[in-house]
Amino acid sequence: MRIAIMNQDIEREIKKRAEDKCELCGHAEPENLLLFEVPKTPEYIEGADNGLQVCTTCESQFDSEERDINHWRCLNDSMWSTAAPVQVMAWRMLHRLKKEGWPQDLLDMMYMEEQRLEWAAAEGDAEDKSNALVHRDANGVILQAGDNVVLIKDLKVKGSSMVAKQGTAVRRISLDHENDTYIEGKVDGIQIVIITEYVKKT
């Protein structure tokens, strides 16, 4: 989750633009809305263009492989937003859903100026990932950045006297993009490297 840390003026500006709704799907329950900072935002982007207001449903599926495909039909509308961060996230989600077929049709219709397109593409969603590394847990389940896992055996942490105990939960892991057997996560507040065969996705 990339909850935006902004000053109150910027927060008010985003909320005013959003009209008390999720800027991607239109969801309008205040208790389920949050401010989201768009990853890879260029330094020249300032103010309210750094983020958007989204619902917890949209935010939880940004980086997940388990998505409610029908929920994302909302992009048919939000892709036309004049707000740069909304259009950027709509473009990224359409690429992440491209295998469904219909998102490609929307992408073919979508127009973005060059600078905005470069910003949208900065996370690599349009790249060919057919040869990308695949990280799998002890049961062969694919691991994604942001997943939660549990250690299935005691692990001695290299270079320290610390032992990460079996059953320890490691939340919001990150992946090693050069080695598919390594992930990283925090145990007792310390960032450590963990071998994938010793974890189970939760």
Q: Give dist(CA 84, CA 23) in Å, integer.
A: 11
The reported pTM is 0.63
Cβ neighbours around 143 below 10 Å, total: 20
Give 132's contacts (C-beta < 8 A, 6+ positions apart).
Answer: none
Q: What is the pLDDT of residues 69-108, one digit of tens each?
A: 999 999 999 999 999 999 999 999 999 998 899 999 999 9
What is the arithmetic mean of pLDDT over 10-25? Answer: 95
Q: What is the pLDDT of residues 76-85, one digit of tens each?
A: 999 999 999 9
Q: What is the radius of gyration, based on Cα positions, of the chain?
A: 19
What domains does the chain contain, in order, with CATH numbers?
Answer: 8-121 (no CATH), 135-201 (2.30.30.40)
Concatenated DSSP letters of 129-141? -TT---EE-TTSP
Would you call 91 exposed, middle or buried from its count of C-beta atoms within 10 A (0-12, 13-18, 19+)? buried
What's the pLDDT at 133? Answer: 80
Query: Phi/psi of residue 80, each to 5°?
Result: -95, 5
